[in-house]
Amino acid sequence: MKETPLSICEKQCVIQAVKEGQRVDGRSLAEQRKTCITFGTEWGCCQVLLGNTRVMAQVSCTIQVPKSSRANEGMLFINVEMSTMAAEHFEAGRLGQQGIEVNRLVERCIKDSRCIDLESLCILVEEQAWEIRVDIHVLNHEGNLIDAATLAALGALCHFRRPDVTLDGREVIVHQLDERDPVPLTILHYPLTLSFALFDQGKIYALDPTNLEERSADGKLVLGLNAYRELCTLQISGDGVFIRKEAVLSCANVAASRAVEMVEMLKKCLAADAAERIKGKYDGLVSSVALEAERITTQSQATAYFKTPVHNLEENADEESLSVPKTKLVKDQGIVTLETKSDVSSSESDIEMEPLPPASVVKKRVYEEIDIGNDSEEEPVMLITKELT
Amino acid sequence: MATDHKTLQPLEFYKTFLDRKSRPDGRNLLEFRKVTVNAGSIGTADGSAIVKCGNTTVICGIKAEIAAPGMDEPSKGFIIPNVTLPPLCSSKIKSGPPGEAAQSATQFIAELVANNIILDLHNLCIHSTKWAWVLHCDLVCINLDGSLLDACVIALITALKNVTLPIVTYDEELDKLICDTDQKRPLEGIKQPVTSTFSLFENGILISDPTSEEEQLAAGLTSITMEGALVTHMYKPGGCTLDEKQVKKLIQQSELKAKEIVRLIEEVCLSSIAER
Amino acid sequence: MSGTELLSDQGLRIDGRKPNELRRIRCSLGIFAQADGSAYLEQGNTKVLAAVYGPHEIRGSKSKALHDKAFVNCQYSTATFSMGERKRRPRGDRKSTEMSTHLEETFAAAIRTELYPRSQIDIFVEVLQADGGNYTTCVNAAMMALVDAGVPLKDTVVSCTASLVKDTPLVDVNHVEQSGGSPELVVSILPHSGEIVYMSLTQRFHIDHLSKVLDTAIKGCKDIGVILKEIMKGHLTKLDTSLQAS
Amino acid sequence: MAEKSFSTHVNQIYLPGDSVVLSKTDENSNAKIVLGPGLRKYGKQILVTKPGILRTKSSPPTYWIDCHHRRYVPARGDDVIGVVTNKVGESYKVYIGSSEEASLSSIAFPGATKKNKPNIQIGDLVFAKLLIASADMEPELVCVNSLGENVGLGVLSTNGFLFTVPLHHIRKLLNPECTLLKSLGKALPFEIAVGMNGKIWIKAKSVKQTITLARAISMSEHMNKEEMNQLCKKFIDRQAGF
Amino acid sequence: MVTNFACLQTTLHNFVLFFTITFLVQFKTHSYLCFIKILKSSVTLFTMETEQKSIRALKCEQSVLSRADGSVMFSQGNTVVMASVYGPLEAKIQKELSDRMYVEVNYKPKTGMPGVAERGKEKLIKTTCNHIILTNLHPRTAVCITIQEMQDGGTLLSASINAVCLALLDSGLPLQCLVAAVTCLVDKKDKIILDPCIRTVKEGYKAMFTFAFDSQKYNLILSHCEGQVPYQLFQEAMELCQKASHIIFDFYRQAVLRKFSKELL
């Protein structure tokens, strides 16, 4: 199955918007989508939501013979799985070029930067060592899979506990999880990636691009960073992308401060998860199954925001027949121009609005207006904003 | 006329038979085809059997090996089933990697093994954590005409009963296996599951032991495995629905078949031992 | 391996180079008669062969054809004998596929693909001996082969690596330095405008060092660019004289 | 369910496999009864095939299920927006979101002749009507009516923005009772083309306005009339500079 | 009701508790249905009397994935499964069927590559889907169903089948009927435990059955067994599962109701 073709119109609109410092989903250029991290009941299971992009990682371990070249080290294997679930052009069991790119970048960010202490995974030199396997499942592709995948992989690795082992001579005894407290992995540092879509010959860059932005951009810049502001990976790629050194440096600085925040957030989520577990009655991912009724209640939150009386049921009457002459509106006029004001007055209103305050203030206002969900902080699921990508 | 009707509207053609409670090959609806079993005909195998259910013919050959048991189950041996459908068995099978039919049949047998329905795998242990028998059970279908699973299970059980293994002991001090090839003994504790396949039609009609033509036309298939009066497996992968009465009827029918087949297998095994 | 060994107290590297010194470059063009363009390039002990075919009509699946530009197809392959351990799969594994993708992207940017709609350009590179900086050598070799083939380019592409040991940036990293755990920054630039077309980093260093490491790599690229340009000129003059002689 | 009287049936949720009871008058009359999407006759029963709300209409008595969809299945006479993906001979291949790409002849444009064809690039958007839509055939699009006249269909300008919403949202927007588009138009003048395949093309004075409008429209998916009015009111206030 | 309170209290907070109870009592009353629409309704069902003879809490989120045509994240107790449906899509030439739709099912385990066991599950789900989808309405197309294990709480197979059914409902593909699967387990003391949790499964059992039933006559569509028992127990287990399937069908209805709650009236 082919990927949905991209129209010139979408591409031009995205590029034009970015040039004006805006984005199609209403964010500013250096703004990330809402990130949400949840953990499962099993150790080493982490689900990451980055806007609508959804990725899950699961860590597992087995005892293997270590590699002869690194006899005193355990192994780390990272595997990305993309199936038709995430997008119709993905094929289960076969990673395309895009899949390999994600896989390699996660590998480079996490494995090559040595964030896991592999030596602590060795049980018997040259004989037995733990192999840690990270399976990353891409569940929904709405752009920026790389950042979501590394965050999920890192979250899962931090969350993971392996069974404890003891040595009896040369005999290895593996203690089941209920026998002895399992052991967490030794994490040396927390590397993450942050991706920018590059536009206009690398002059403009947008953080955390959506799928549409990724496809419209010239290329992308992926920066792997940890909380110590160390660069762990860096990659510029794309068909015909050019970028200047100064742009790379400024992206790196933006990303470095973001990385610190993200690691902070991940640690908070891990701590919250640990606290929940201690309380008992832990149900893991079940709590992240949001009922879609919440989507509808978010709307009533919206009404609350608009300061109207409490939503009244009896007035809720919806249109009786939805599929009545559905084409009429379009058929009669073709491309309908819904213009109620005269042309002159409308353009006046535009002029009135634009020059008033500095442009950024106006922009800000519009975001507030549209992201109704953002105003109600206590609402955990903001599906309105989700729908917009 | 009749052949035209059959090629043009196979389902209609078939339904006229069903309405009269009979089948094109002359059987009643719930009648099984004739089963022929031959044990121990392949000398190079450690155990073998050839089974014919109507036209469906399956050969089972078992080869035994010794290997280290798995880490998680140190006192169990292995039975590794593999169903092969070579292109010669049916015009619908193409050469190449195993198709869906072969894979799902292998999976079915593997499930029976995993559920301890074929044989208690502890009987294959030579010395816990060190050595155990591995039985490679290759089931080759040389003529495929429906109800593959029935024939496969009969062939597997007969072949297992036919297996004789040399007596092997493990000397712990020398860390060595001692094999006595002169003395051979049969396997113990082989169970006697029997699988019966049924086809279901939209109007609630059930037929047993369908041919491949009948399998094609039917709206659903179900395979019931019984060991004596115990229901050991009821495999029904979707398709047409069944109500409780039908389930009961099918199970009774399978129980009957199971009894007959078990008797047949025992007879065959006795005679093959007598020959030896 | 620790930093002290990679950079001696006298400020010399393990193979005796100064931190900003490139490895020796040797190159010959037009080595295959079959290919439309070919090149052999040595950077120190890293030896690479590159061959270019095309532009020609789309081969294989027609769906790859692009309606407004040429499709660039690259294959990155490492000979089984090129490393200490025998390499089992010369191509097709994840790392090779990744390299191939990056080569494709880099050259799609450098070649004037819009001149050849609905056609294909093949670039094959084979690493014969690997001693660090394999990817950069491949980019440089492929670029030389493209020049040999006479494929129109927007600009030449040159690539170089840089590393950081004891806060000192090193240029053109070899295998020992690379596997010793020091970071490796690969940069491909268009030397004319100084714009970066490809960049990648493995291992880590503090973000404050990025600027100087990047500068070193860019300087390395430009130096290699000058050397390669000389070789190109030499090759083209030779061609010219042989043409005029005939 | 079956024992309930008819009036409790309409405007209720139905699931596939449920059976529908006709109203007494319809059942007894000889008039033809039209079964719309989501219903099929099975023996004497009328069975539901899609989850949704049962709706009815009189003269002719019509029954159908209002269902939520995201994937478009072509229906004859629908106006759709598609992306041109290829040119094959004298016709274009157009992606409209269905299982098969539709074809659009290069002379199915107003005023087009063999010599005078429209200038269409790959990646352009077209607003066209489905002339042929059948499960067994390739869908075919046209940009003219049966007399070859201009009815407002054709290539859409590349200056707008295209976005996709679920199909039920499109039906809601095109319902004459839905005032969302008109009210938004009061605040900001814009051009819009709404395709039954869930694609909406919109163009306002500036990119910023286009984006704001597009987001407001796709946000209204779960809103009812009142909430939409609230949204519009707020929207208009904002544009006026409050 | 009293026992219900006990088990409810442990799983839900008070607000939902009040609500679920009223909901159970007044299920058919229209005004309450409307009430539900506004508040967060965590639809949790406990109808059978003892704990081991009830189905664990069911929860689902429909249209959870933005790209899929139909998708659902479904939880049954601690088991969480995600299912997506894409279709009708263009079928690959070698898989195209001239008279009906090709159903492709991919089952994705949480760790490692899909193996023979997953192929077996795929086949079970595929044949079930072939039965419930009206495939002849969309000839020469394909529908692609993907199931992702998210959290193993003991009953992955039945949860997968239920999730697929919900995802199909969400996609709006034409269906003949619905399907609901229930797992039950016969423990070593010949006691039947409905919808066992992972701990019960790990303790060992004599037999484990998964049955799926259709929504029209509650007949058996699918059966999958592990282990062996006498027919009497088998029948008892099947009947118990059949009864429990009604809860799941009710759950489907409420899920769809939630989705359409704004368009009712």
pLDDT at A294: 52
Q: What is the mean pLDDT of residues D52-59?
A: 87
Taking CB atoms and an 8 Å limit, are C108 and A225 in contact across chains?
no
In this structure, what are the phi and psi dihedrals at residue B271, rounded to the nearest 5 degrees?
-65, -35
Chains B and D touch (3+ CB pairs under 8 A): no
Question: Where exactly are the structural domains of chain B?
Answer: 29-188+263-275
CATH topology of domain D161-240: Ribosomal Protein S8; Chain: A, domain 1 (3.30.1370)
pLDDT at E35: 35
pLDDT at A193: 94
For D123-150, the pLDDT digits (tens) are: 999 999 999 998 888 999 999 988 888 8
- Closest-approach residue (CA) in chain D for A19: D207
pLDDT band, residue A192 (cuts 50/70/90): very high
Q: Does E49 score more than 50 pLDDT?
A: no
Do A278 and A324 fall within a single domain? no
Polymer length of chain E = 265
**Interface test mutation site (partner C, options A241, A254, A258, max chain C beta carbons within 10 A):** A241
pLDDT at E241: 93
pLDDT at A292: 60
The residue whose two tokens read 């990976």 is A233
Q: Does C159 score more than 70 pLDDT?
A: yes
Contacts of D219 in chain A (CB under 8 A): 370, 372, 384, 387-388
Flag whether A158 is in a domain. yes
Q: Does A320 score more than 50 pLDDT?
A: no
Question: Where exactly are the structural domains of chain D?
Answer: 4-66, 79-156, 161-240
Class in CATH terms, B29-188+263-275: alpha beta
The CATH classification of domain D79-156, taken from the options 2.60.40.10, 3.40.718.10, 3.30.420.40, 2.40.50.140: 2.40.50.140
- Among A148, A228, A236, which residue's Cα sits nearest to residue A191? A228
pLDDT at D182: 87
pLDDT band, residue A291 (cuts 50/70/90): low
Note the CATH number of domain D4-66.
2.40.50.100
Q: What is the DSSP letter of C221?
A: H
Tokens of A18: 């970015």
Higher per-residue confidence, E56 vs A306: E56
Flag whether A273 is in a domain. yes
For A41-90, the pLDDT digits (tens) are: 899 999 999 989 999 999 999 988 898 888 889 999 999 999 999 999 99
Q: Ranked by mean pLDDT, which of C220-234, D32-46, D49-63 comes out on top?
A: C220-234
- Closest-approach residue (CA) in chain C for A110: C203
Q: Does A317 score more than 70 pLDDT?
A: no
Q: Measure CA A223 to chain center.
A: 15
Q: What is the mean pLDDT of residues D14-26?
A: 85
- CA of D160 to nearest chain C CA: how many angstroms apart? 23
Do A308 and A230 fall within a single domain? no
Last residue of a domain, one of A259, A291, A323: A291
Range 141-170 of E in CB contact (< 8 A) with D? 141-142, 169-170
Q: Does D3 score more than 60 pLDDT?
A: no
Domain span at residue A370 reads 297-388
Q: Does A380 score more than 50 pLDDT?
A: no
| pLDDT, chain C, mean | 89
Q: Is the four-CA dihedral B198, B199, B205, B207 of positive or negative sign? A: negative
Q: ipTM exceeding 0.90?
A: no
Contacts of A10 in chain D (CB under 8 A): 161-162
Spatial neighbors of D79 by CB under 8 A, at least 6 apart, are A327, A330, A331, D127, D128, D129, D130, D153, D194, D195, D196
pLDDT at E12: 37
- Please answer whether residues C216 and A238 qualify as being in contact, where contact means their C-beta atoms are separated by less than 8 angstroms: no
Q: Ranked by mean pLDDT, which of C40-49, C174-183, E21-30 comes out on top?
A: C40-49
The residue whose two tokens read 């900086």 is C133
pLDDT at D117: 85
Contacts of B247 in chain E (CB under 8 A): 220, 235, 238
How many domains does chain A fold into?
2
Last residue of a domain, one of A247, A269, A291: A291
Q: Does E13 score more than 70 pLDDT?
A: no
pLDDT at B70: 78
pLDDT band, residue A110 (cuts 50/70/90): very high
pLDDT at A351: 29
Exposure string for C38-59, b = 16+ CB within 10 A, e = fewer: bbbbbbbebbbbbbbbbbeebe
- CA of E198 to nearest chain D CA: how many angstroms apart? 32
Bridge partners for B131 per DSSP: B127
Entry pTM = 0.85
The stretches in chain B having pLDDT less than 70 are 1-2, 276
pLDDT at A384: 30
Q: Does E167 score more than 80 pLDDT?
A: yes
Flag whether A3 is in a domain. no
H or E element in which residue B274 lies: helix B244-275
Q: What is the mean pLDDT of residues A367-388?
A: 31
pLDDT band, residue D5 (cuts 50/70/90): low
- CA of C117 to nearest chain D CA: how many angstroms apart? 13
Contacts of A202 in chain C (CB under 8 A): 195-196
Residue A8 at interface with chain D, using a CB cutoff of 8 Å:
yes
Taking CB atoms and an 8 Å limit, are B104 and E120 in contact across chains?
yes
Range 181-200 of E in CB contact (< 8 A) with D? none
- Closest-approach residue (CA) in chain C for A256: C207
Contacts of A142 in chain E (CB under 8 A): 66-67
Inter-helix orientation angle A145-159/A245-279, to 10°? 40
Taking CB atoms and an 8 Å limit, are A291 and E265 in contact across chains?
no
Helix/strand/coil for C51: strand
| Fold agreement between D4-66 and D79-156 | yes
Q: Does A361 score more than 60 pLDDT?
A: no
- Closest-approach residue (CA) in chain D for C65: D86
Distance from C-alpha of A31 to C-alpha of A258, rounded to nearest angstrom: 10
| pLDDT, chain A, mean | 75
Chains E and C touch (3+ CB pairs under 8 A): no
pLDDT band, residue D185 (cuts 50/70/90): confident
- Closest-approach residue (CA) in chain C for D87: C67
pLDDT band, residue A7 (cuts 50/70/90): very high
Flag whether A1 is in a domain. no
pLDDT band, residue D197 (cuts 50/70/90): very high
Q: Does D232 score more than 90 pLDDT?
A: no
Do A60 and A79 fall within a single domain? yes
- Among E240, E118, E111, E113, which residue's Cα sits nearest to residue E183? E240
Do A285 and A233 fall within a single domain? yes
Residue D219 at interface with chain E, using a CB cutoff of 8 Å:
no
User: What percent of chain A clears pLDDT 90, i.e. is strictly above it?
Assistant: 44
Q: Does D222 score more than 90 pLDDT?
A: no
Range 322-351 of A in CB contact (< 8 A) with E? 322
Taking CB atoms and an 8 Å limit, are E106 and A84 in contact across chains?
yes
Bridge partners for B38 per DSSP: B50
For A27-37, the pLDDT digits (tens) are: 889 899 989 99
Taking CB atoms and an 8 Å limit, are A103 and C199 in contact across chains?
no
Contacts of D189 in chain A (CB under 8 A): 337-341, 343, 346
* E40, E67, E144 member nearest A293 (Cβ): E40
Residue C67 at interface with chain D, using a CB cutoff of 8 Å:
yes
Contacts of A9 in chain D (CB under 8 A): 124-125, 156-162, 201
Do A285 and A302 fall within a single domain? no
Lowest-pLDDT range of E21-30, E88-97, E249-258: E21-30
In this structure, what are the phi and psi dihedrals at residue B254, rounded to the nearest 5 degrees?
-65, -35
- Among A131, A134, A140, A19, which residue's Cα sits nearest to residue A75? A131
pLDDT at B187: 86
Range 93-112 of A in CB contact (< 8 A) with E? 93
- CA of A228 to nearest chain C CA: how many angstroms apart? 8
pLDDT band, residue E29 (cuts 50/70/90): very low
Taking CB atoms and an 8 Å limit, are D83 and A303 in contact across chains?
no
Contacts of E73 in chain A (CB under 8 A): 288-289
* D161, D184, D223 member nearest A299 (Cβ): D223
Beta strand segments in A11-157, E = 35-39, 45-50, 53-64, 75-82, 122-124, 128-140
- CA of E62 to nearest chain A CA: how many angstroms apart? 6
- Please answer whether residues E166 and E138 qualify as being in contact, where contact means their C-beta atoms are separated by less than 8 angstroms: no
pLDDT at C91: 77
Can you list the domains of chain E with their CATH numbers? 2-264 (3.30.230.70)
pLDDT at D241: 59
Bridge partners for B139 per DSSP: B60, B83
Residue A74 at interface with chain C, using a CB cutoff of 8 Å:
no
| pLDDT, chain E, mean | 80
Taking CB atoms and an 8 Å limit, are C190 and A240 in contact across chains?
no
- Closest-approach residue (CA) in chain E for D9: E265
Distance from C-alpha of E55 to C-alpha of E247, rounded to nearest angstrom: 8
- Please answer whether residues C142 and C27 qualify as being in contact, where contact means their C-beta atoms are separated by less than 8 angstroms: no
Residue D12 at interface with chain E, using a CB cutoff of 8 Å:
yes
Q: What is the mean pLDDT of residues A365-385?
A: 31
Flag whether A217 is in a domain. yes
pLDDT at B1: 59
CATH topology of domain C3-245: Ribosomal Protein S5; domain 2 (3.30.230)
pLDDT band, residue E31 (cuts 50/70/90): very low
